[in-house]
């Protein structure tokens, strides 16, 4: 082969900066290897001066200039300037070496059916021939050694890239050379490769490595995929916006000699297998930035996207702009006028987004064209990844590029995959979000529980993106690309630059560090935990200057010491959690007395005890949660307690509601550290099974506005709100309907949730909120309290049963707070309502009828009773008057933790010896 003549065509594609080095390396490799060669430099005519300057020392070198930027056309021109059976197409920057050239020549002569061969390098458009040399060298292994260890010899290839291609001239001319229809760089190499494959030729990737001198550089707006995409799609059905792994895997399996029809069908199958990606853009009063953001989303090379826009702007500029996109089937626009907050504007995304993968895009950021394509490809190639991001480019308000984000980690090669544990640890240790804002990261929907479409994640507001990323990193690894795939815009109107957001972010970072330390996730060593807290204090002087600009409450929260009590909510019973858990615990959190984690928001998914195995020194609070009597549960509870956790069961109803709890001999209560409940009756009952019972009666979270009463109003509005209460009200219904008969339309009824009660009322002067079956739909609490506030009389009937005795007096204090006088049964309410002073108590249907009649007739009595009851609530039954009871109880639990645990183990062994 050495007797054959090699003609080198070197294309100036890097503005001449590496041209001389590439030419010298190519000629030198031939000379040292004893091979005759000639070299022609090809370049667009527009680069004539650059090329001539770069090659000023090479007076004898041939330079061909053409009025085109088509690499295919340039390569063709160079091939025709000299003879020789062998052609070496080479792009500026590749540094040829003797041994590599010899290996390529040896591979080419293995068989006449081999049309072309090529090496691996560290700068490519596609990953097919890409080698992460920098990463290997960081690990002290040369790329060539890595290749020799992994790949025994040349391997068949479906295409070869244009950075270096060694082929036979006869085959090159017979197949029709490079297509000149591809503009710029890219596409002509795949097209030539496919034509060669269809003609029965083989293409080989040879296990040799040639470095690119400019591997560390990149074009911010790389257009190779974008420019070649339409023509490749037209000729071969290949959409290079589809992740490379999908179409290369598909094409590797076909018989190429069956022709273009099979290639087209195969590429179509690859396209159809591309998973849907939802790009979600919330926007508010930024039409000038928003248009650029939307265009960047729609310009993605990835073919299977949906773009959802939720707009809660205060004017119609964005709405008018969106008229231009109404025929684009990829776009869905929601004019969310009713949304008054960021959170309300984000909510529709949860139901509208259909993608397997989710991509947030803030309305001032930019997605670069191949972002989704590259990131989905990374997900397909890295099965352990749960998030993919890139180093971030930064632009200003005028879209001028400002450089890379300061905290960008060093990335070797196209991308690197990092262990989630290491990235999570680094994030918390640096108190920094180097993974990027929401626009930077792509992730699978199924991998995240606490989604951003509530505008918060796990209760975090300013660092909700960090909270999301850390949750994803708990489950897998992070892929980070070494060049920007999105651009973060910095401008004065951003929330994150406001004093409130900056100060709150420090408070939230402190809570996030504490949260993961308690779980021993990411932070497992106390020295690291202390370091992270110290790191957070480094900018304390800067924050101090902002404190006069924020609210007193936030200032107090920032200056407070970190609470030593952490409560993890394991589940939620909607309809109960808002009163029993959210109201008191969030007030304690706001006062920096506790920290909260777990199921803190409506809709949060229940956390299994198995998922908190790393939690330390926390109160694990279960709401009405049955714990199965099983040996594995016993061991799980023991392991959690050994880590210093307190197992606290919140139960505010009679345990007899669950037959399984009774059948398990109340394991649910015996096997926990302590129980909290809502009534004295329940407390006494539960102490049979666990002596450590804490009583927190239900209170009003805040005092409603005082009612005003119209003395001239003749109509009397009667309220009833409950679920499944027919046995309690059925005996009273004749008296109610008799009152309707006597007073007619003077009576008006507001009924919440109990449709049976509503149907039994013999009047049309009534309204209902809730489901058409009892308990099928619970009316929102706001609707419930609004109906109370608009009513004069509240009916509170409870029969004297074991289950009813366990109920709380909450309905009375709600009625009293909203100015509706209570007509109540003695069961439950006799202990709170002072008959004739703060309400009326009835002891029989007859007495109920008499007192109802009295209240209907006497507006003055209704007002007196209601105002007395209102004063009672204001003085005794507001939540903030009882918060000290909560914090004292929780502190006592930790003080007596060892005692609680000894007794818990003793109970379990005594009552469940065979577990």
Residue 710 to residues 714, 792, 862, Cα–Cα distance (Å): 9, 11, 12
Rounded to whole angstroms, how far apart are CA atoms 802 and 807? 9
Rounded to whole angstroms, how far apart are CA atoms 900 and 123? 63
> Are 281 and 203 members of one domain?
no
Residue 899 to residues 514, 673, 674, 908, Cα–Cα distance (Å): 26, 9, 11, 14
Q: Measure the CA angle with vertex 507, ends 506 and 513; round to 5°.
A: 85
Q: Is 592 left (phi over 0), alpha (psi -120 to 50) or beta?
A: left
DSSP, collapsed to helix, strand or coil, labels residue 38 as strand
Rounded to whole angstroms, how far apart are CA atoms 802 and 607? 32
Considering 454, 482, 497, which residue would you say is the last residue of a domain? 497
> Are 483 and 502 members of one domain?
no
The tokens describing 577, both together, are 């959690």
Could you tell me whether strands 86-91 and 6-11 are parallel, antiparallel, or unpaired per DSSP bridges?
Answer: parallel
Dump the DSSP string for 874-915: HHH-BGGGTHHHHHHHHHHHHHTHHHHHHHHHHHHHHH-TT-
Helix axes 845-857, 733-743, angle to 10 degrees: 30
The tokens describing 412, both together, are 């070797």
Asked whether the beta carbons of 290 and 283 are under 8 A apart, the reply is: yes
> Are 724 and 681 members of one domain?
no
Mean pLDDT of 446-451: 87
Mean pLDDT of 36-57: 92
Rounded to whole angstroms, how far apart are CA atoms 167 and 152? 22
- pLDDT value for 299: 95
Burial class, 344, CB count within 10 angstroms (exposed 0-12 / middle 13-18 / buried 19+) = middle
Residue 446 to residues 450, 477, 582, Cα–Cα distance (Å): 11, 15, 27
The tokens describing 712, both together, are 């001239």
Considering 539, 561, 583, which residue would you say is the last residue of a domain? 561
| β partners of residue 385 | 477
469-492: buried (b, 16+ CB within 10 Å) or exposed (e) per residue? bbbbbbebbbbbbbbbbbbbbeee
Does the pLDDT of residue 1 top 90, yes or no? no
- pLDDT value for 244: 93
For residue 334, is it within any domain? Answer: yes
Kindly indicate the confidence band of residue 497, based on its pLDDT and cuts at 50, 70 and 90: confident
Considering 529, 561, 593, which residue would you say is the last residue of a domain? 561
Mean pLDDT of 577-601: 91
CA dihedral 743, 748, 750, 756 (to 10 degrees): 50
Residue that the structure tokens 């920007």 belong to: 484
Asked whether the beta carbons of 441 and 389 are under 8 A apart, the reply is: yes
Asked whether the beta carbons of 65 and 41 are under 8 A apart, the reply is: no
Q: Which residues contact 265 (CB under 8 A, 6 or more apart)?
A: 237
- pLDDT value for 217: 61
> Are 287 and 350 members of one domain?
yes
Asked whether the beta carbons of 753 and 811 are under 8 A apart, the reply is: no
* Alpha-carbon dihedral sign for residues 573, 575, 576, 580: positive
Does the pLDDT of residue 411 top 90, yes or no? no
Range of the domain at 375: 275-497
For residue 243, is it within any domain? Answer: no
Kindly indicate the confidence band of residue 406, based on its pLDDT and cuts at 50, 70 and 90: confident
- pLDDT value for 557: 84
Does the pLDDT of residue 94 top 70, yes or no? yes
For residue 837, is it within any domain? Answer: yes
> Are 142 and 212 members of one domain?
yes
DSSP 8-state code for residue 121:
B
> Are 695 and 775 members of one domain?
no
Q: Which residues contact 461 (CB under 8 A, 6 or more apart)?
A: 455, 504, 508
What is the pLDDT of the chain when averaged over all its residues? 91
Q: Which residues contact 911 (CB under 8 A, 6 or more apart)?
A: 665, 667, 670
Strand order in the sheet with 840-841: 766-769, 747-752, 716-721, 793-796, 821-824, 840-841
Rounded to whole angstroms, how far apart are CA atoms 242 and 627? 48
The tokens describing 774, both together, are 């009892």
In this structure, what are the phi and psi dihedrals at residue 467, rounded to the nearest 5 degrees?
-60, -40
Residue that the structure tokens 């009756």 belong to: 681
How much of the chain is helix, strand and coil, in % rounded to 5?
Answer: 45, 20, 40
Residue that the structure tokens 């109960």 belong to: 576
- pLDDT value for 189: 95
DSSP, collapsed to helix, strand or coil, labels residue 94 as strand
For residue 705, is it within any domain? Answer: no
Does the pLDDT of residue 775 top 60, yes or no? no
In this structure, what are the phi and psi dihedrals at residue 413, rounded to the nearest 5 degrees?
85, -165
For residue 437, is it within any domain? Answer: yes
Does the pLDDT of residue 237 top 80, yes or no? yes
Task: Name the domain count of the chain.
Answer: 5
> Are 675 and 729 members of one domain?
no
> Are 762 and 662 members of one domain?
no
For residue 882, is it within any domain? Answer: no
Does the pLDDT of residue 665 top 90, yes or no? yes
Mean pLDDT of 822-829: 98
Rounded to whole angstroms, how far apart are CA atoms 570 and 604? 10
Does the pLDDT of residue 641 top 90, yes or no? yes
The tokens describing 753, both together, are 């949730």
Does the pLDDT of residue 250 top 90, yes or no? yes
- pLDDT value for 645: 96
For residue 675, is it within any domain? Answer: yes
The tokens describing 523, both together, are 């932070």
Rounded to whole angstroms, how far apart are CA atoms 480 and 857? 75
> Are 534 and 603 members of one domain?
no
Asked whether the beta carbons of 817 and 703 are under 8 A apart, the reply is: yes
The residue among 482, 455, 468, 358 whose CA lies nearest residue 424 is 468
> Are 438 and 475 members of one domain?
yes
> Are 755 and 618 members of one domain?
no
Rounded to whole angstroms, how far apart are CA atoms 159 and 197? 8
pTM of the model: 0.76
For residue 254, is it within any domain? Answer: no
CATH code for the domain of 187: 3.90.550.10
Rounded to whole angstroms, how far apart are CA atoms 640 and 647? 8
Rounded to whole angstroms, how far apart are CA atoms 299 and 307? 11
- pLDDT value for 457: 60
In angstroms, the first-to-last Cα distance of the chain is 80
Rounded to whole angstroms, how far apart are CA atoms 833 and 836? 9
Span 533-584, pLDDT tens digits: 999 989 888 998 999 999 988 888 888 876 789 999 999 998 889 999 999 9
DSSP, collapsed to helix, strand or coil, labels residue 345 as helix
The tokens describing 897, both together, are 């933790």
> Are 454 and 592 members of one domain?
no
Mean pLDDT of 359-375: 94
The tokens describing 849, both together, are 């009828």
- pLDDT value for 2: 44
- pLDDT value for 592: 83
- pLDDT value for 218: 58
Mean pLDDT of 620-629: 96
- pLDDT value for 733: 97
Does the pLDDT of residue 392 top 90, yes or no? no
Rounded to whole angstroms, how far apart are CA atoms 512 and 737? 58
Span 687-744, pLDDT tens digits: 999 999 999 999 999 999 999 888 788 999 999 999 889 999 999 999 999 999 999 9
Asked whether the beta carbons of 64 and 41 are under 8 A apart, the reply is: yes
Kindly indicate the confidence band of residue 143, based on its pLDDT and cuts at 50, 70 and 90: confident
Could you tell me whether strands 716-721 and 202-209 are parallel, antiparallel, or unpaired per DSSP bridges?
Answer: unpaired
In this structure, the number of other CB atoms found within 10 A of the CB of residue 221 comes to 12
Mean pLDDT of 593-613: 89
């Amino acid at each position: 082969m050495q007797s054959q003549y090699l003609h080198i065509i070197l294309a100036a594609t890097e503005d001449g900066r590496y041209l001389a080095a590439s030419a010298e390396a190519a000629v030198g490799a031939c000379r040292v290897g004893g091979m005759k060669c000639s070299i022609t430099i090809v370049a667009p005519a527009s680069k004539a001066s650059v090329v001539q300057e770069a090659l000023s020392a090479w007076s004898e070198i041939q330079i061909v200039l053409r009025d085109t930027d088509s690499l295919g056309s340039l390569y063709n021109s160079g091939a025709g300037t000299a003879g020789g059976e062998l052609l070496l197409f080479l792009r500026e920057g590749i540094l040829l070496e003797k041994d590599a050239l010899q290996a390529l020549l040896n591979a080419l002569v293995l068989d006449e059916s081999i049309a072309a061969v090529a090496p691996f390098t560290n700068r490519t458009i596609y990953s097919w021939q890409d080698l992460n040399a920098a990463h290997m060298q960081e690990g002290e292994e040369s790329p060539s050694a890595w290749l020799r260890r992994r790949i025994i010899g040349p391997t068949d290839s479906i295409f070869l890239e244009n950075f270096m291609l060694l082929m036979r001239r006869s085959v090159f001319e017979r197949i029709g050379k490079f297509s000149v229809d591809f503009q710029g760089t890219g596409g002509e190499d795949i097209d030539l490769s496919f034509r060669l494959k269809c003609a029965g030729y083989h293409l080989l990737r040879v296990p040799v490595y040639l470095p690119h001198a400019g591997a560390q550089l990149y074009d911010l707006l790389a257009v190779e995929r974008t420019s070649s995409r339409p023509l490749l799609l037209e000729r071969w059905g290949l959409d290079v916006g589809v992740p490379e792994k999908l179409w290369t895997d598909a094409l590797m399996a076909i018989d190429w000699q069956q022709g273009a029809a099979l290639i087209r069908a195969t590429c179509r199958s690859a396209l159809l297998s591309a998973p849907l990606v939802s790009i979600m853009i919330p926007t508010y009063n930024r039409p000038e930035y928003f248009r650029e953001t939307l265009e960047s989303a729609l310009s993605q090379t990835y073919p299977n996207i949906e773009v959802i826009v939720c707009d809660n702007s205060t004017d119609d500029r964005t709405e008018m702009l969106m008229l231009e996109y109404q025929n684009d089937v990829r776009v869905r626009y929601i004019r969310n006028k009713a949304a008054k907050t960021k959170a309300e504007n984000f909510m529709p995304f949860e139901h509208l987004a259909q993608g397997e993968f989710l991509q947030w895009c803030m309305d001032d950021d930019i997605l670069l064209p191949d972002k989704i394509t590259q990131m989905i490809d990374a997900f397909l190639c890295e099965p352990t990844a749960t998030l993919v991001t890139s180093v971030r480019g930064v632009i200003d308000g005028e879209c001028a590029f400002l450089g890379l984000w300061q905290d960008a980690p060093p990335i070797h090669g196209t991308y690197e995959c990092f262990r989630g544990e290491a990235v999570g640890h680094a994030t918390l240790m640096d108190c920094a979000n180097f993974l990027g804002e929401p626009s930077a990261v792509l992730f699978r929907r199924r991998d995240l529980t606490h989604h951003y479409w509530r505008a918060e994640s796990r209760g975090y507001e300013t660092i909700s993106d960090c909270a999301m990323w850390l949750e994803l990193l708990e489950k897998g690894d992070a892929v980070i690309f070494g060049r920007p795939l999105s651009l973060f815009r910095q401008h004065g109107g951003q929330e994150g630059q406001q004093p409130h957001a900056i100060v709150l972010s420090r408070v939230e970072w402190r809570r996030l560090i504490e949260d993961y330390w308690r779980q021993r996730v990411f932070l497992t060593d106390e020295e690291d935990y202390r370091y992270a807290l110290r790191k957070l204090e480094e900018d304390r002087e800067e924050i101090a200057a902002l404190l006069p600009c924020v609210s007193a409450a936030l200032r107090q929260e920032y200056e407070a010491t970190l609470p030593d009590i952490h409560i993890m909510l394991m589940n939620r019973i909607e309809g109960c959690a808002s009163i029993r858990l959210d109201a008191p615990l969030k007030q304690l959190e706001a006062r920096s007395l506790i920290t909260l984690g777990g199921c803190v928001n409506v809709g949060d998914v229940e956390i299994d005890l198995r998922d908190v195995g790393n939690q330390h020194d926390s109160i694990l609070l279960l709401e009405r949660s049955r714990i199965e009597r099983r040996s594995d549960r016993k061991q799980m509870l023991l392991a959690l307690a050994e880590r210093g956790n307190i197992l606290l069961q919140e139960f505010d109803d009679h345990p007899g509601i669950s037959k399984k709890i009774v059948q398990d001999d109340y394991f649910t209560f015996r096997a926990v550290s302590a129980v909290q409940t809502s009534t004295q009756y329940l407390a006494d009952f539960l102490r049979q099974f666990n002596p450590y019972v804490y009583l927190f009666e239900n209170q009003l979270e805040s005092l409603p506005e005082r009612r005003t009463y119209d003395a001239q109003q003749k109509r009397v509005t009667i309220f009833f709100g409950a679920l499944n209460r027919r046995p309690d009200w059925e005996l009273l219904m004749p008296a109610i309907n008799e009152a309707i008969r006597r007073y007619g339309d003077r009576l008006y009824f507001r009924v919440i949730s109990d449709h049976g009660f509503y149907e039994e009322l013999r009047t049309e002067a009534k309204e209902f909120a809730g489901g058409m079956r009892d308990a099928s739909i619970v009316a929102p609490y706001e609707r419930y309290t609004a109906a109370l506030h608009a009513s004069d009389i509240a009916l509170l009937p409870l029969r004297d049963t074991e289950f009813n005795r366990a109920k709380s007096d909450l309905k009375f204090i709600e009625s009293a707070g909203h100015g509706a006088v209570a007509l109540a049964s003695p069961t439950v309410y006799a202990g709170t309502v002072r008959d004739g002073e703060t309400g009326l108590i009835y002891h029989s249907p007859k007495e109920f009828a008499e007192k109802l009649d009295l209240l209907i007739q006497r507006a003055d009595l209704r007002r007196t009773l209601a105002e007395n009851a209102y004063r009672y609530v204001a003085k005794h039954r507001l939540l903030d008057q009882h918060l000290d009871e909560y914090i004292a109880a929780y502190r006592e639990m930790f003080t007596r933790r060892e005692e609680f645990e000894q007794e818990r183990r003793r109970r379990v062994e005594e009552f469940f010896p065979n577990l």
